[in-house]
């Protein structure tokens, strides 16, 4: 038995089992990563408007030399463009950035709508400090997505981060059923019930973050001792083990990497022995990493709407405090830098205070380093 290389979609098209994810890939890295992936044999590139790197993804596709018709290209409609009159606008910007005429798959990125904005992905309500969420029925957004298929600008449409309940509601009015639901799925968050139900409906599950994700300093599945031990026993890498497990359970996957060697290595999938497969199955702990706190909406029906809103309020409060702290801490440091540099320059000119920097244990490069660390820390916390 061999693992499938692609899955059939309800639209009549096929989606490759493995794609390159571009979430959290920096613009200056993703172009070369996309190029390397396509040249290594990948035929699915997963992008999104909100990732902020679609122009570079398009450049990577062009640089690879792989014909457009050989590539399965996915992107996602961002929350600011859910109102029907803005759906096609969102797609057109993506097509321009990617330098293509059509998408193979277009997904509603989240089942949450933001106030329309052509300039920011996070329109914040100045009174609450929260992202400005508006009420747009998913069926209305979906109807506009269906028109994109009719116009030939998109071949298949689907959703992302949708629960079974949300999809069931959508199916009551949809003329074109969703072909794909892209969700967070890895050994720590297996979502078995949703996967099995989706198979019954003919909806393909694409797993993002199939290796786990440490954006909130949570442990990653790829670093799990059991996974590492299985990889050692089988002579594979932990990433190869998890990607193979994901495909073996019936999902397509979009692991992210910007390292050419890892990009190539992630294609080397294999059938896991039953004992290894079951050991990974036993790792499920419902550890969700990508919970959109700032939205203030119980997207996954897990915490309750009030709790979700309170989390968002707390998040907004923390952001405000961090901003105030950054100003209050940064300004004195900048003034100190200015003062020390002023003294240091006078010392050089007068020849009397040549050892000032040594006495203060601070050199010019160290001044910059201190401030750089402050800004990096602030950016990380925010």
Give the residue numbers marked as catalytic: 51
How many Å apart are CA 293 and CA 314, to the nearest integer? 9
How many Å apart are CA 3 and CA 277, to the nearest integer? 13
How many Å apart are CA 64 and CA 360, to the nearest integer? 53
- Does an H or E element contain 40, and which? helix 27-40
Q: Decide: 159 and 139 in contact? Cβ < 8 Å.
A: no
SS3 label, residue 222: helix
SS3 label, residue 76: strand
How many Å apart are CA 187 and CA 221, to the nearest integer? 6
Phi and psi at residue 226, to the nearest 5°: -65, -45
Q: Which residues of 108-141 are buried (b: 16+ CB within 10 A; e: fewer)?
A: bbbbbbbbbbeeeeebbeeeeebbbbeebebeeb
**294-298 own/partner pairs: CB under 8 Å, 24+ apart:** 294/122, 294/130, 294/131, 295/110, 295/112, 295/131, 295/133, 296/130, 296/131, 296/133, 297/112, 297/133
Q: Nearest CA to 103 among 49, 142, 65?
A: 49
Q: Decide: 20 and 44 in contact? Cβ < 8 Å.
A: yes
Ramachandran class of 320: left when φ > 0, alpha when ψ lies in -120 to 50, beta otherwise: alpha
Give how far Cα 96 sits from Cα of 50, 103, 243, Å.
Answer: 15, 11, 32
- Does an H or E element contain 14, and which? strand 14-16
């Amino acid at each position: 038995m061999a693992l499938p290389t692609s899955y059939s979609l309800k639209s009549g098209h096929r989606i490759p089992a493995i794609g390159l994810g571009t979430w959290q890939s920096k613009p200056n890295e993703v172009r070369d990563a996309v190029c390397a992936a396509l040249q290594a044999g990948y035929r699915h590139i997963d992008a999104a408007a909100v990732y902020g790197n679609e122009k570079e993804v398009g450049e990577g596709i062009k640089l690879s030399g792989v014909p457009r018709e050989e590539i399965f290209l996915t992107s996602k409609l961002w929350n600011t463009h859910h109102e029907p009159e803005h759906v096609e606008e969102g797609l057109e910007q993506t097509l321009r950035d990617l330098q293509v005429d059509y998408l193979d798959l277009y997904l509603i990125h989240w089942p949450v709508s933001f106030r329309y904005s052509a300039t920011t992905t996070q329109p914040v309500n100045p009174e609450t400090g929260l992202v400005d969420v508006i009420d747009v029925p998913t069926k209305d957004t979906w109807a506009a997505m269906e028109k994109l298929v009719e116009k030939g600008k998109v071949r298949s449409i689907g959703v992302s981060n949708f629960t079974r309940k949300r999809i069931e509601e959508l199916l009551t009015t949809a003329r074109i059923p969703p072909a794909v639901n892209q969700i967070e799925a890895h050994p720590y968050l297996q979502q078995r019930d949703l996967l099995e139900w989706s198979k019954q409906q003919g909806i393909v599950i694409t797993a993002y973050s199939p290796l786990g994700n440490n954006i909130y300093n949570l442990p990653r599945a790829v670093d799990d001792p059991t996974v590492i031990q299985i990889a050692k026993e089988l002579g594979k890498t932990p990433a190869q083990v998890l990607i193979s497990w994901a495909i073996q359970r019936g999902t397509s996957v979009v692991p992210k990497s910007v390292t050419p060697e890892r990009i190539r290595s992630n294609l080397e999938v294999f059938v896991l022995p039953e004992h290894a497969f079951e050991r990974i199955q036993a790792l499920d702990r419902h550890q969700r990493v990508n919970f959109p706190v700032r939205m203030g909406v119980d997207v996954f029906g897990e915490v309750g709407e009030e709790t979700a809103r309170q989390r968002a309020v707390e998040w907004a409060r923390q952001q405000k405090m961090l901003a105030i702290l950054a100003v209050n801490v940064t300004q004195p440091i900048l003034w100190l830098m200015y003062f020390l540099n002023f003294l240091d320059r006078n010392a050089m000119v007068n020849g009397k205070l040549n050892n000032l920097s040594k006495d203060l244990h601070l050199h010019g490069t160290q001044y910059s380093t201190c401030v750089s660390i402050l800004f990096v820390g602030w950016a990380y916390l925010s």
